[in-house]
C-alpha cells in the first residue's frame, strides 16, 4: 500500500487507486458518510447502504456503486447514520476514520474501534480547548431548556440538517416541533432505515401554529431566514454543535457534537495502538504535535 495526497487522501492498493473521501481520478471511491465535505459525485463508490441512500437523494443517477476491493472492511464510526471507517489489510493494516465519535447519543452508537498498524484520522476538534460534556446529559439539558422556553416563547433550534437535526428531533419527541424542508427529507431517510426519528411537519409561515412551537433550521440559513423568523415569532434560539463553544450565532449554546473531542481523539489513538499516525482536517498539525509529545510517530497530511 502506498499513501499519497492528490485532491485529498488516496491509496495505491495492488493495481488500483482508492480515494478516501476525496475527489480526482481513482478506481474506487470510499465515502465515509454523506456530509457534503466528504461526498463525491463519482462512479465505483463503496459505502454503507445508508450513505448510498443519501448520495442517491443528492446526486441521483450521477453516482454508481460497487463492492469494495478484497481485504477491505468497514466499521461503524458513530458520526451520523451510515458513517463508516475503512480498514485495509495487505501485509499490514491501515485504518481511515473519516469523521467519528466515541460518544453514545440517543439512537447513535459510538464508533467500533479496531487496532491497526497505520492510522489516518480526522482531527476536527484536535485542540485541548475542545472538551465536550456527556452527550446524553447535554441533550437532556437541551430538552429541558426548550420545554422551559416554550412556556413564554417560540423556539428556533439551529442544527445541521444531516445528523444534528435528527438528534434534536429525537430529543424533542412529543413537543410542538416543525422542520425546515431539508431537515424533513433527512428525517424521512432515517425513518426508512428503522430509526424512530419523529418526522414533524414543515412550518407554514403564512399560517403559523396558534400554540408556542419549535422550529428546527440549518444554521447556514440563520441570516437569510432565521433572523426574520426570530423577530416575527418572538423566538428564543439555540445552537447545537461543538462549535457552539464560540457561540457564533449569539444563541443558547449546547455542546452536542457528532465528532470526538480532543480527549476522545487521544483515547481513540491509544485504543487503536498504531505504529504510524496521519492527521487530517481541523487541528491536524496541533494534534500531531500532541501525539508526538506522547511518544507516537505522527504527522499531519
Model pLDDT for residues 78-117, shown as the tens digit of each residue: 999 999 999 999 999 999 999 999 999 999 999 999 999 9
Q: How is residue 120 written as a grid cell?
A: 489516518
Range of the domain at 75: 2-129+259-300
Give pLDDT tens digits for 236-260: 999 999 999 999 999 999 999 999 9
Both 85 and 140 in one domain: the answer is no
Both 124 and 7 in one domain: the answer is yes
If you average pLDDT over every residue of the chain, what do you get? 97
Closest by CA position to 281, among listed 68, 34, 96:
96
pLDDT score of 37: 87
pLDDT score of 36: 86
Distance, in Å, from the CA atom of 85 to the CA atom of 286, rounded to the nearest integer, reads 23
Burial of 244 (0-12, 13-18, 19+ CB in 10 A): buried
Cell numbers 457552539: residue: 244
Both 278 and 172 in one domain: the answer is no
Give pLDDT tens digits for 119-149: 999 999 999 999 999 999 999 999 999 999 9
- CATH number assigned to the domain comprising residue 292: 3.60.15.10
Both 114 and 144 in one domain: the answer is no
Q: Say if residue 56's pLDDT is above 90.
A: yes
Q: Say if residue 196's pLDDT is above 90.
A: yes
pLDDT score of 7: 87
Contacts of 120 (CB under 8 A, 6+ apart): 3, 9, 20, 94, 95, 96, 97, 277, 278, 280, 301
**Number of structural domains, the chain?**
2
Both 36 and 16 in one domain: the answer is yes
Cα 130-133-139 angle, rounded to 5 deg: 125
Find out whether 66 and 46 touch, Cβ atoms under 8 Å: yes
Distance, in Å, from the CA atom of 107 to the CA atom of 178, rounded to the nearest integer, reads 20
Q: Say if residue 181's pLDDT is above 90.
A: yes
Helices (H), the chain: 49-59, 135-149, 164-171, 181-192, 227-233, 262-272, 284-293
Question: Model confidence at 1, in pLDDT bands (50, 70, 90)?
Answer: confident
pLDDT score of 34: 96
Both 149 and 239 in one domain: the answer is yes
CA dihedral over 83, 118, 28, 69, signed as positive or negative? negative
Q: Say if residue 290's pLDDT is above 90.
A: yes
Both 157 and 248 in one domain: the answer is yes
Both 120 and 149 in one domain: the answer is no
| Mean local confidence (pLDDT), 201-206 | 90
| Mean local confidence (pLDDT), 3-28 | 94
Find out whether 192 and 56 touch, Cβ atoms under 8 Å: no
Both 112 and 30 in one domain: the answer is yes
Find out whether 287 and 126 touch, Cβ atoms under 8 Å: yes
Both 50 and 121 in one domain: the answer is yes
pLDDT score of 265: 99
Amino acid at each position: 500500500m502506498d499513501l499519497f495526497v492528490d485532491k485529498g487522501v488516496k491509496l495505491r492498493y495492488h493495481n488500483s487507486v482508492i480515494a478516501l473521501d476525496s475527489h480526482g481520478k481513482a478506481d474506487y471511491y470510499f465515502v465515509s458518510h454523506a456530509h457534503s465535505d466528504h461526498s463525491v459525485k463519482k462512479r465505483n463508490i463503496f459505502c454503507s447502504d445508508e450513505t448510498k441512500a443519501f448520495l442517491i437523494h443528492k446526486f441521483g443517477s450521477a453516482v454508481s456503486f460497487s463492492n469494495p476491493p478484497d481485504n477491505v472492511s468497514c466499521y461503524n464510526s458513530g458520526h451520523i447514520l451510515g458513517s463508516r471507517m475503512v480498514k485495509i489489510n495487505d501485509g499490514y493494516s491501515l485504518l481511515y476514520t473519516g469523521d467519528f465519535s466515541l460518544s453514545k447519543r440517543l439512537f447513535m452508537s459510538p464508533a467500533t474501534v479496531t487496532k491497526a498498524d497505520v492510522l489516518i484520522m480526522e482531527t476536527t476538534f484536535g485542540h485541548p480547548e475542545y472538551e465536550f460534556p456527556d452527550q446524553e446529559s447535554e441533550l437532556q439539558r437541551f430538552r429541558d431548556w426548550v420545554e422551559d422556553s416554550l412556556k413564554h416563547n417560540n423556539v428556533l433550534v439551529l442544527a445541521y440538517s444531516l445528523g444534528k437535526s435528527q438528534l434534536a428531533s429525537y430529543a424533542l419527541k412529543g413537543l410542538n416541533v416543525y422542520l425546515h424542508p431539508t431537515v424533513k427529507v433527512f428525517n424521512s431517510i432515517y425513518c426508512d432505515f428503522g430509526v424512530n426519528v419523529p418526522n414533524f411537519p414543515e412550518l407554514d409561515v403564512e399560517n403559523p401554529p396558534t400554540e408556542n412551537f419549535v422550529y428546527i433550521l440549518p444554521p447556514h440559513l440563520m441570516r437569510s431566514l432565521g433572523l426574520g423568523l426570530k423577530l416575527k415569532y418572538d423566538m428564543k434560539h439555540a445552537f447545537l454543535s461543538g462549535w457552539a463553544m464560540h457561540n457564533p450565532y449569539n444563541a443558547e449554546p449546547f455542546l452536542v457534537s457528532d465528532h470526538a473531542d480532543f480527549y476522545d481523539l487521544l483515547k481513540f489513538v491509544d485504543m487503536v495502538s498504531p505504529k504510524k499516525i496521519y492527521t487530517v482536517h481541523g487541528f491536524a498539525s496541533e494534534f500531531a504535535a500532541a501525539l508526538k509529545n506522547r511518544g507516537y510517530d505522527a504527522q499531519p497530511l
